Structure 1
Amino acid sequence: MNHHSSFRRYPMFRARVRRVVFGLTAIVAMVLGMAGMGASTAAADTVIATIPAGTAPLGVAITPDGSFAYVTNGGAGTVSVIDTATNNEITTVPVGDSPFGVAITPDGSFAYVANRGPGTVSVIDTATNTVVGAPIPVGEIPSGVAITPNGSFAYVTNSGSGTVSVIDTATNNEITTVPVLGIPAGVAITPDGSFAYVTNFVAASEVSVIDTATNTVVGAPIRVGADPAGVAITPDGSFAYVANNNPGTVSVIDTATNTVVGAPIQIGPDPFWVAITPDGSRVYVVDDTADEVSVIDTATNMVIETIAVGAAPRGVAITPDGTRAYVTNYDDNTVSAIAIDQCLGSLCLDLGSLTGAAPVRAASSADTPTV
């Protein structure tokens, strides 16, 4: 039996099992907490697996059911497919030269991969893990990819052309290009699909906002820190978090006013990419010089912990259930799987790994950042 196909056939079953385990574990946590049992000292998010990938892994995206992570290998011209149940690479898919950004359609059927070398986008059928159709020509050095919530369009930043390509996913043709400032890098789309936020790396140090109804830039560019790279939007659409590579900060944009709110959040030397948990409570930022991931509490916009990973982390994605983060380590040719602590009131537990999980614990004062 094909192991990949057998897991693919029952994605809803796997999701239901995970939800049931979450619920049962929560009940156990509450019982132990009330009885004063099973508590331990405060623990942080934990790397539970280091997964070999291809050469120079960069981007990462996770299927909507959480079953598989797709990792672009920039130095190999391939995409690694990781089974998140076992944290093993189950196959590699040849794509174009120097793949970077990757995004998966909301129904989980296809992965769109930006190939920087030839200036194309490859489309992978996730049921068969094969490339379908011819590569889609876009601009020069395509980097970031984001797909609208309805799955109809893919937005691709062309770092060498100063544009954003819009691909109709029904025909897999580029239907228009949108000029932006500087060197466009990251792209994220609001949950309602109305706007795409594009970071303008190096030259502009700004974020452009594209109205997806007209595919035009609206309003003045939003000034952030120097060399903005990754961008992610909170699940409620209220804020965009932008990693500023040069000053080592994260800027927070209020999407209602398209203005930066608060002071820049100090991270480390070189923050690069960003991901936000499904509940919107935490932001994960990779730092490719410090070899770590910083975790920001969105309630306070303070860094509450850092997690050591592999060398030169570049990409990060979080599973839809919020229990794990996957980080690509460019210089190590690996992917770090991080178990994310889950807190229920005063009780915290590690649910990122259903095997070998840390014991249920009571939250302590060490969990609260010192102001």
Structure 2
Amino acid sequence: MRIAVVSLALGIVFSGFGFAQNLLVLEKSDRTLAIVDPATQKVLARTPAGEDPHEIVASADGHFAYITNYGAFDKPHHTLTIVDVTQRKTIGTLDLGSLLAPHGLSLSEGKVYFTAEGSKAIGRYNPDTKQVDWTLGIGNNRTHMIVVHGDRIFTSNVNSDSISIIERDAKADVSGWTQTVVPVGKGPEGFDVSPDGTQLWAANSGDGTVSIVDVTSKKVAANFDIHVKRSNRLKFTVDGKLVLVSDLGSGDVVVLDAATHKEVKRLNVGKGAAGILIPPDGARAYVASSGDGNIAIVDLKSLSITGHIPVGKGPDGMAWATPAR
């Protein structure tokens, strides 16, 4: 693995940017990252995001952001793009070598976990050593999204119609990990783990259902139809009471009650509802409308759309960055 560092202009003073929170939005079709001030809803800066950028995660201190350069099936890429958020500059490209089509991202204990869909694997980048320090073969087809929750790693395997639960196990093979593959509905893509870690909800893009996996038993506890055309992402609210599912086909966001599994509200955010981001305060959700080039702001108390943030072409993956003081 190697990392190429892009030189920076040193005339930018960090204090000039203050410590404001930043909403980071990938503009896929423009191959750029937009840094947005959520207070003014204005784009503060743009910086290159590499080829075919799909997902983004920010470091805990809000200083850096990491972007997967996907490439999908025909021309899978093999890089992560690294951005200095405080300087608003792209600073490097990490070559992942044979780890192809990186897509999903999750941050845990300062390290960046990613899927390598084209290699049926997952990996981990260590910002301290600037190296990929761990990989694990998954062996499923189209391992797309990843969530690290506590000491477990979860992935959605779209074309294998399954969810993987990966756990440390001293008695396992030389890898030290065991994988349990849980069959769910057709085409699970977006998924999330409940804040208490007891449930995993998977949005099955191929049949319009949601599968609920009991994390302890590693079995499907419920499966129900939410009447969507092509679910894309699924997110729990911070308090774990609601679940949001975006529908690329209709442009809707379906709001579900986590306890009853019933639909609470259905909001149309525009063309191609895609990425969902819920900031740590849990007051609102940002939903990308890829076809309209904007981000819808959803108030999670009133369950209403309170505004839109115009961005570039094809917005999708988002992250929240709060620079440390």
Q: Would the TM-score normalized by the shorter structure come out above 0.5?
A: yes
Once the two structures are superposed, residues 245-276 of structure 1 have per-residue CA deviations (whole angstroms, 9 ceiling, x without a partner) of 00011111111222111233424111111121
Q: Residue in 2 aligned with 1:334?
A: 294
1:93 aligns with 2:74: no
Q: Residue in 1 aligned with 2:132?
A: 174
Q: Residue in 1 aligned with 2:156?
A: 199
Q: How many residue pairs align between the two structures?
A: 285
Q: Which runs of 5+ in 1 are unaligned?
A: 12-66, 343-348, 354-371
- 8 Å CA contact 2:297, 2:305 repeated in 1: no
| CA separation of 1:7 and 1:227: change in aligned 2, threshold 3 A | farther
3-state SS, counterpart of residue 140 of structure 1: coil
Equivalent of residue 119 in structure 2, options 156, 161, 165: 161
Larger Rg: 1
Equivalent of residue 85 in structure 2, options 126, 149, 153: 126
Distance 2:272 2:250 in 1: 8
Deviation at 1:352, TM superposition (A): 7.2
Distance 1:224 1:7 in 2: 49
3-state SS, counterpart of residue 220 of structure 1: strand
Whichever residue aligns with residue 331 of structure 1, its letter is G
1:112 aligns with 2:66: yes
| CA separation of 1:89 and 1:259: change in aligned 2, threshold 3 A | same
- 8 Å CA contact 1:136, 1:172 repeated in 2: no
Deviation at 1:125, TM superposition (A): 1.6
Deviation at 1:287, TM superposition (A): 0.3
3-state SS, counterpart of residue 280 of structure 1: coil
Q: Residue in 1 aligned with 2:284?
A: 324
Once the two structures are superposed, residues 173-210 of structure 1 have per-residue CA deviations (whole angstroms, 9 ceiling, x without a partner) of 112221111111111111x2x111100012x1001122
1:183 aligns with 2:192: no
- 8 Å CA contact 1:267, 1:294 repeated in 2: no
Q: Residue in 1 aligned with 2:185?
A: 225
Bigger mean CA deviation after superposition, 131-140 or 303-312: 131-140
Distance 1:165 1:116 in 2: 14
Deviation at 1:323, TM superposition (A): 1.2
1:300 aligns with 2:264: no
- 8 Å CA contact 2:167, 2:179 repeated in 1: no
Distance 1:200 1:85 in 2: 37
Whichever residue aligns with residue 223 of structure 2, its letter is A
Distance 2:271 2:89 in 1: 30
Normalising to structure 1: TM-score of the pair?
Answer: 0.71
Distance 1:157 1:212 in 2: 18
Whichever residue aligns with residue 117 of structure 2, its letter is S
Distance 2:66 2:112 in 1: 8
- 8 Å CA contact 1:178, 1:216 repeated in 2: no
Bigger mean CA deviation after superposition, 262-271 or 249-258: 262-271
Equivalent of residue 247 in structure 2, options 282, 287, 298: 287
Q: Which runs of 5+ in 2 are unaligned?
A: 1-12, 72-76, 308-325
Distance 1:289 1:350 in 2: 20
| CA separation of 1:332 and 1:5: change in aligned 2, threshold 3 A | farther
Bigger mean CA deviation after superposition, 208-217 or 169-178: 208-217
Distance 1:79 1:250 in 2: 31
Q: Cα RMSD (Å) of the superposition?
A: 2.5
Normalising to structure 2: TM-score of the pair?
Answer: 0.81
3-state SS, counterpart of residue 127 of structure 1: coil
Q: Residue in 2 aligned with 1:264?
A: 224
Whichever residue aligns with residue 141 of structure 2, its letter is G
**Structure 1 segments (4+ residues) deviating >3 Å:** 4-8, 212-217, 349-353
- 8 Å CA contact 1:283, 1:296 repeated in 2: yes
Deviation at 1:135, TM superposition (A): 2.5
3-state SS, counterpart of residue 279 of structure 1: coil
Structure with bigger strand share is: 2
Percent identity between matched residues is 25
Q: Residue in 1 aligned with 2:4?
A: none
Distance 1:163 1:91 in 2: 34
Whichever residue aligns with residue 311 of structure 1, its letter is K
Deviation at 1:217, TM superposition (A): 5.2
Deviation at 1:351, TM superposition (A): 11
Equivalent of residue 103 in structure 2, options 143, 150, 171: 143
3-state SS, counterpart of residue 75 of structure 1: helix
- 8 Å CA contact 2:257, 2:264 repeated in 1: yes
Distance 1:207 1:294 in 2: 22
Distance 1:325 1:295 in 2: 11
